[in-house]
A and B are shown apart, each in its own frame.
Chain A
């Protein structure tokens, strides 16, 4: 009797302990996110509070036209080392946006069609090779992708489109696209295969062809999940650094032309933070860029998560 009771108590303690250990590990990851946000924020805040720094770097400087082009138009300029430092975020935001849009245009169709093929058409054996192959792409280090873009893709694309600048938004966008294909593919594939079998069978039973079923039944049912994949890929593209450092040309040009070189926010932080004068306006501005990036990706990921939540409720509704 007594022996049994201690055994049970020991079991109980062990269970309690396991649970707490798991809880702590979960909390550590949350805590690290909060700490990152706290420290990035703390370094960015002098932009809003410190008067000396605000003389050169402030919100108006970041978002209003702050210089002129060589031919005399007012424009937005990022030129932190200068007689009068110019810290406009606009060319950097524009550069990030251009690369991201190109990346989405490249990766979304490819990833979606691949996902459709693997879930709907591919025989089982083929699927078992395609899936891990695409997911392997996620394991390629971005520095390798960047190098590939710099050396190979830039030359091809320049020949193809007659680009004036060899490294530009299209080249870096295409390389970014390669990086986010697995992100979009994985989530979209999950969403497509999560569509209940009953829906499919009902559609066939009503006499719909394979293509009709795919377009009218399966795609709409999986749409929220596909959208979530796209949003996650977008978030990844915005924050990706190494590829754009290597393949974007790093010229902060304020223009919508995708054939111009770009300088993204992440690349700017990566290139300049290492050697900026500690505590200077430039230093805190770089942290402000970091904070802005953090906020953008956080918001985008929140949207993605929210959409996945919707997908789940919707599919659970469909089961009944």
Chain B
């Protein structure tokens, strides 16, 4: 009996599966973006930028206590999805939007979204504090993460296997690293993936043979290596002057995306973030200001 009943449920499930095979699923969510009038602003997106967003929010709210600014993480991808669905006022992204994402937005709202470069981030290569190594070339980092160099002594360190830590493949940092350091090659399957910058730092800080990467802002308890663009060029540590001047080879812009031209409270916040005061706040938490010329027109 028991068995017969189970088979019956199984058959129904299979039947349902067959039934749905014929349909072409085409669900589409409706845009529900509406002009926000209340005095709360939602910021969503990149995990790398959560700290940054919160820092800005706190500083800004001190001068504007009536305003509520909510900052959420989840990853650049989550933020961009929220932007498309109209559930956020500002999206933070640690990578520029893909063309496909831009055209999806255009198709939905019939206009372009607003892109602002709000900060500069140096991507640090972390190793354990006791690792004698001080510098790597970009090519060596690539070889390590592609799995062709597997021992520290092949890059001038003390003998021992290299253990690789990376981010989950939904992170903007992962994509940036893959594109600019790995030059679009695949990570070796032996790369362990962790779900946040803090997790990578934590793992590397506990692992003598570990290597990881992530925002310089987070590098506490680990050593960040100086990077050479190629074997002839000097080794550049990810310090303020080198990242802002562009001498440090692994740096990237951090972006804010807005669904519309900012108005009202959002505009005031954006203007403040791009102002001297907002940009100065960056230094205190390890990000880097961008030159005033880098902004888009809305900043004036």
Contact = CB atoms under 8 A, between A and B. Distances in A.
B169 A309 contact: no
Q: Which residue, of A30, A70, A298, has the highest number of chain B Cβ atoms within 10 A?
A: A70
Contacts of B192: 165, 167, 249-251, 261
A275 B170 contact: yes
B157 to A, nearest CB: 16
Nearest to B147: A70
- The dominant DSSP class at the B interface is mixed
Contacts of B25: 42-43, 46
B195 A271 contact: yes
Contact of B193 (A48, A271, A298): A271
A81 B175 contact: yes
B40 interface: no
Interface string A231-271: 00000000000000100011111100000110100000001
A80 interface: yes
Contacts of A167: 192
Interface stretch (B10-18, B212-220, B279-287): B10-18
A130 B273 CA distance: 59
A121 interface: no
The interface size bin for chain A is 35 or more
Contact of B77 (A253, A275, A298): A275
A315 B95 CA distance: 65
Contact of A81 (B12, B20, B161, B178): B178
A263 B81 CA distance: 26
Contacts of B20: 38, 41-42, 45
A83 B175 CA distance: 12
B189 A42 contact: no
Contact of B3 (A69, A77, A86, A306): A306
Contacts of A80: 169
Interface residues of B, number: 47
A306 B189 contact: no
A166 B75 contact: no
A19 interface: no
Contacts of A277: 100
Given A70-B146, A275-B170, A306-B2, A250 B193 contact: yes
Contacts of A25: none
B13 A274 contact: no
Given A45-B21, A275-B170, A305 B194 contact: no
B16 A275 contact: no
A302 interface: yes
B168 A251 contact: no
Contacts of A49: 21
A277 B103 CA distance: 13
B186 A82 contact: yes
Contact of A254 (B2, B174, B189): B189
A208 interface: no
A48 B18 CA distance: 11
Contacts of A43: 25
Interface in B37-77: 74-75, 77
A298 B189 contact: no
Contacts of A308: 2
A272 B189 contact: no
A260 B189 CA distance: 11
Given A166-B207, A250-B168, A275-B77, A83 B184 contact: yes
B172 to A, nearest CB: 10
Interface in A160-189: 164-167
Given A70-B147, A272-B168, A275-B75, 20 more contacts: A34-B12, A38-B16, A41-B13, A48-B21, A70-B150, A77-B189, A86-B186, A165-B192, A166-B203, A166-B206, A250-B192, A250-B193, A251-B190, A251-B191, A254-B189, A271-B168, A274-B78, A275-B74, A275-B77, A306-B6
18 contacts: A45-B17, A70-B150, A77-B186, A81-B174, A83-B184, A91-B189, A164-B161, A165-B163, A251-B190, A260-B190, A272-B169, A272-B170, A274-B74, A274-B77, A274-B170, A276-B170, A305-B6, A306-B6
8 closest A-B pairs by beta carbon, nearest first, are A275-B77, A70-B147, A275-B170, A309-B2, A249-B192, A81-B169, A42-B20, A250-B193
